[in-house]
Amino acid sequence: MRVSLPLLKREKKICLGVDPFWSRLAMVATQDIALNNFFRRRIVIGGDNLPLNGSVVLAPTHRSRWDALMLTMAAGRRITGRDCRYMVTRSEMQGLQGWFLNRLGCFPIDQGRPSLTTLRYAVDLLTCGQQLVVFPEGRINRLSEPVKLKKGLIRLAQLASNKGLDIKIVPVGLAYSDIIPKFCGSASICFSKPIIISKDFSQPISDFNIALSKSMLSAEQSALFAVGRG
């Protein structure tokens, strides 16, 4: 997907974008090798709810480090024709892992004090019709404790919608046959119907987060049922 010159300039201050060589290599390593050989079954539910164009924010539950690979499998370039651009914590961008993530379109954010540059970059991605992935819980929640969503996602969507865009937020649920995914187990991902955020959106943030969390957990229940934990 083509991106604008302003986006490319801002991108250089934050990350290296999507490197053509490393992104193709990562796709083979994660999708064709890792996922294929680790999980016995990979189930996708509600694929018709995944928008194939426009500004999209995927809002998944966070249960395992396999989540990102499952999201890329079900919503990445092989399915939608565009990459999943992950907003991740600063700690995840450290070391060897960070070296790779920095070349796969991921970018860091300080959850406590997000910089204006990072927020503008995320808005630019949406303005250019990219697909952004934000984990609203902010951390892995293996025990499926009550979902407590941070306010950043809706504020980001509102900033982008102020530019006259309709932002499609897709609640996503992920589940595995074991709380800690095991070899030859099953994995499932479920996409719910998008929530549209437009310029005239006026719902209180707290009410929106309640609605989003309910939709995420509903999607997760469908995913849990698919792997035998429903």
pLDDT of residue 118: 85
Whole-angstrom Cα distance, residue 127 to residue 79? Answer: 21
Q: Is 17 exposed, middle or buried (0-12, 13-18, 19+ CB in 10 A)?
A: buried
pLDDT of residue 177: 97
pLDDT of residue 152: 81
pLDDT of residue 3: 57
Dihedral sign, Cα of residue 176, residue 58, residue 71, residue 95: negative
As a whole number, the mean pLDDT across the chain is 90
Residues of the chain with pLDDT under 50: none
Longest dimension (CA), the chain: 48
Domain that holds residue 201: 5-226
Residue 99, SS3 per DSSP = helix
CATH number at residue 18: 3.40.1130.10
Report yes or no: 173 and 217 within 8 Å, Cβ to Cβ: yes
pLDDT of residue 146: 66
Q: What's the domain count of the chain?
A: 1
